[in-house]
Amino acid sequence: MPTTSAPDEHLRLEGIGVSFGAVNVIPSLDLSVRKGEMVAFLGPSGCGKTTTLRIIAGLNKPSRGSIMVGGRDITHLPIHDRDMGMVFQSYALFPHMDVSHNVQFGLQMRNVPAREAEKRAAQALEMVQLGHLAHRKPKELSGGQQQRVALARALVIEPSILLLDEPLSNLDAKLRDEMRVQIRALQQQSGITAVFVTHDQVEALSMCDRVVVMRGGHVEQFGTPTEVYERPATAFVANFVGRTNRLKGALTAEGILTGAGQQLRSATRLPAGAVDILVRPHRIRLQETGEADNKVQGTVSTITFIGDLVQYGVSVGGEEIVVEEATRRGRSPLAAGDSVTLGWSAEDTLIYPAGEK
Amino acid sequence: MEIHKTSWPMRILVFVLFVYLLAPVILVFPLSFSGDQVLRFPPSFWSTRWYSALFANSQMLKAFWTSLSLAAIVTVLSIVIAVPAAWVMTRLKFTGRDLLFNLFTAPLLLPTIVLGLAILIVFASFGLLATMQGLVFAHLVVTLPYALRVLAVSLSTQDRACEEAARTLGAKPLTVFFRVTVPMLTPGIVAAAALCFLVSFDEVVITLFLTGPRISTLPVELYNYVYNQADPLVAAASALLILLTLAVIMIVERAMGLGKAFVK
């Protein structure tokens, strides 16, 4: 992990570690976030992403390491002096205050005069299209509306960093899509630095400038969504971000040999030895007629219609390869038992030393 | 919505149980309007003479006001003490926390007669017998465990994220306590207050040891009265006490809904 600080660096974690007794939940974490960018912490539950976010907010104390914001060490600053805007998974709106007073709370804590606080809260609510609900109680609002109030409450104090802890996980699918776009738009308008915790790769890839893929308390990869998706640093990242086929094989001087005996080509360079071969299902063509770096014969064994796409299970020399194709009207679908020629490029053939999970 | 048809044997069983539980309470009302000289059911004729007698009984009236002010003081003190104590018990982690909590709520399990004796012995040496302060202290021993239990349950089920949100928005710990924790605790506080009030107003055993000719509470006065004579005056007093209890419960119900205050 590079530790040289970028000139526009805003948030920096240095050797952050968390231990409970003898258990190292987070061994040592280094991270640098640029001003105005939105970074996702992506990983399965228990990977330490929420803990790291809470450490930045001050809600959890790290066992070691330091947190810098704008060049200033805030590791030992109490929560209320940190100037962070946080959106909680449960929204955490104050049930005894109306929407407007929820939003005004942070301003009151900053001793903003009552009239101005009211005005700024109204503007913030206008920004999330909730101006008309200012005098409702939180429990009278829908989940999506509560979520937007929480966002307005966090943004109205113009915090130095916006922290979002799985803010979309309690919303239904359609609303989640809308809120993704809205949160990203608000973040870009205000130019605020934001950290977004999620276990959903779609949220991470679509909303954020860069993605930190975490596992077991350490960073697997830190890169742009394209980098993380196209050039996963580890087999774990490839598996977690997007879907993959995984084949066993061996890398020799002649090339890659699969367990079933096919010869494959990859653009990745690795020392010779046992390897895992990963190919994304939608990067494989089902009926390859032209030239392809990798071409294998197989038989369709299962067909699953998902709506946007059709998933084919193709058995190739005893192994099952999943291929996904976008559905198109007027195209006769394949049937189970049809023989097919699969084809994909060397660039789409990712290889990792065997045994990496 | 599913509508359950209750079977007939079940309905009869429930009816019998209700009659068994409520009959003594309900019987008090006809008894209180008896015109007889002694407690007898059914009364041979009706009158309101025992209500008049009750309101003419200055000793009873004095005891009523003592009980009322005692219960009010005890309730306020219980809440003021128990809210911060319950906060410490549920929000801070320290060794011996469970032990301390069990110790604080232990008086609930002790026989009140034992408590009464112990308090008598201790208070005698401090000159607290038959004084208002003594009664307040003694009742607090009984009401605090109730208040602590109810408030600790409310606090531990409260969404901690709200307190955290307030902290991140710039509120200092004490501000969080008064502007977020306590307002969110209101249903629990009302429930605990109602409970403390009723427990204190109703307390007999411990109070018996501490009262005297100078100061006495209504339940103790009623006990002494029944000890000496058996006329329906106590029925009139009981009927009024039942109405008072109902009034307290209805205030709680109006304030936030009974279910919300007691069951959380």
Task: Judge: B166–A88 Cβ closer than 8 Å, yes or no.
Answer: no
Percent of chain B with pLDDT over 70: 95
| Whether residues A214 and A182 fall in one domain | yes
Into how many domains does chain A fold?
2
CA distance to partner chain A, nearest, from residue B80 (Å): 21
B255–chain A Cβ distance below 8 A for any pair: no
A111: left (phi over 0), alpha (psi -120 to 50) or beta: left
Assigned domain for A54 exists? yes
**In B, residues 160-179, which contact A (CB 8 Å cutoff)?**
161-162, 164-172, 175, 179
Please tell me which residue of chain B has the smallest CA distance to A161: B168
Measure the CA–CA gap between A241 and A218, rounded to whole angstroms. 16
Assigned domain for A280 exists? yes
Residue B262 scores a pLDDT above 80? no
Domain holding A175, by residue range, is: 9-237
Domain finish residue from A237, A258, A275: A237
Q: Which domains, ranges and CATH numbers included, belong to chain B? A: 58-262 (1.10.3720.10)
> A84-108: per-residue pLDDT in tens?
999 999 999 999 999 999 999 999 9
| Whether residues A92 and A170 fall in one domain | yes
Assigned domain for A3 exists? no
| Whether residues A203 and A315 fall in one domain | no
Given this model, what pLDDT does residue A2 score?
A: 45
> Is B118 exposed, middle or buried, given 0-12, 13-18 or 19+ CB atoms closer than 10 A?
middle
| Whether residues A263 and A123 fall in one domain | no
Please report the ipTM that was assigned to this predicted complex: 0.84
| Whether residues A101 and A166 fall in one domain | yes
Domain finish residue from A184, A212, A237: A237
> A319-338: per-residue pLDDT in tens?
889 999 888 776 667 888 88
Given this model, what pLDDT does residue B4 score?
A: 66
Percent of chain A with pLDDT over 90: 59
Interface A-B: count of C-beta contacts within 8 A: 65
Please tell me which residue of chain A has the smallest CA distance to B180: A94
Task: Judge: B165–A85 Cβ closer than 8 Å, yes or no.
Answer: no
Nearest CB to B170 within list A92, A109, A163: A109
| Whether residues A232 and A268 fall in one domain | no
| Whether residues A268 and A202 fall in one domain | no
Give 3-state DSSP helix, strand, coil % of chain B, rounded to 5. Answer: 75, 0, 20
Given this model, what pLDDT does residue A1 score?
A: 44
Task: Judge: A88–B164 Cβ closer than 8 Å, yes or no.
Answer: yes
| Whether residues A179 and A257 fall in one domain | no
Nearest CB to B161 within list A80, A90, A106: A90
Measure the CA–CA gap between A247 and A281, rounded to whole angstroms. 12
CATH number at residue A174: 3.40.50.300
Q: Tokens at residue A13, please?
A: 């974690």
Measure the CA–CA gap between A16 and A61, rounded to whole angstroms. 10
| Whether residues A188 and A278 fall in one domain | no
Q: Which range among A270-279, A333-342, B74-83, B110-119 has the greatest average pLDDT?
A: B74-83
Q: Give A118's pLDDT tier (boundaries 50, 70, 90).
A: very high
Assigned domain for A1 exists? no
Assigned domain for A286 exists? yes
Given this model, what pLDDT does residue A74 score?
A: 94
Q: Is the model more confident about A5 or about A180? A: A180
Domain finish residue from A237, A259, A278: A237
Q: How far is CA B241 from CA A307, B57, B104, B201, in A?
A: 70, 16, 30, 10
A167–chain B Cβ distance below 8 A for any pair: no
Residue A157: strand, helix, or coil: coil
> B133-162: per-residue pLDDT in tens?
999 999 999 999 999 999 999 999 888 999
CA distance to partner chain B, nearest, from residue A80 (Å): 4
Name every chain A residue with its beta carbon within 8 A of the beta carbon of B175.
109
Assigned domain for A323 exists? yes
Nearest CB to A105 within list B161, B164, B169: B169
Residue B39 scores a pLDDT above 50? yes
A93–chain B Cβ distance below 8 A for any pair: yes
B157–chain A Cβ distance below 8 A for any pair: no
Residue A161 scores a pLDDT above 90? yes
Nearest CB to B165 within list A81, A83, A86: A86
Lowest mean pLDDT among A65-69, A146-150, A196-200, A272-276: A272-276
CATH number at residue A344: 2.40.50.140
Chosen from A90, A94, A155, A162 to mutate, greatest number of chain B CBs within 10 A: A94
B257–chain A Cβ distance below 8 A for any pair: no
> A217-264: per-residue pLDDT in tens?
989 999 999 999 999 999 999 989 988 998 888 888 777 888 777 888
Given this model, what pLDDT does residue B258 score?
A: 54
* A193-198/A161-165 β-pairing: parallel
Q: Tokens at residue B206, please?
A: 């411990």
Residue A158 scores a pLDDT above 50? yes
| Whether residues A177 and A283 fall in one domain | no
Nearest CB to B167 within list A80, A85, A89: A80
Measure the CA–CA gap between A295 and A289, rounded to whole angstroms. 10
Name every chain A residue with its beta carbon within 8 A of the beta carbon of B167.
58-59, 79-80
Q: Give A357's pLDDT tier (boundaries 50, 70, 90).
A: low
Given this model, what pLDDT does residue A203 score?
A: 92
CA distance to partner chain B, nearest, from residue A86 (Å): 7
**In A, residues 99-128, which contact B (CB 8 Å cutoff)?**
105-106, 109-110
First vs last C-alpha separation in chain A: 20
Chosen from A86, A147, A161, A197 to mutate, greatest number of chain B CBs within 10 A: A86
Assigned domain for A2 exists? no
Chosen from A109, A112, A149, A161 to mutate, greatest number of chain B CBs within 10 A: A109
| Whether residues A202 and A304 fall in one domain | no
Assigned domain for A225 exists? yes
| Whether residues A156 and A20 fall in one domain | yes
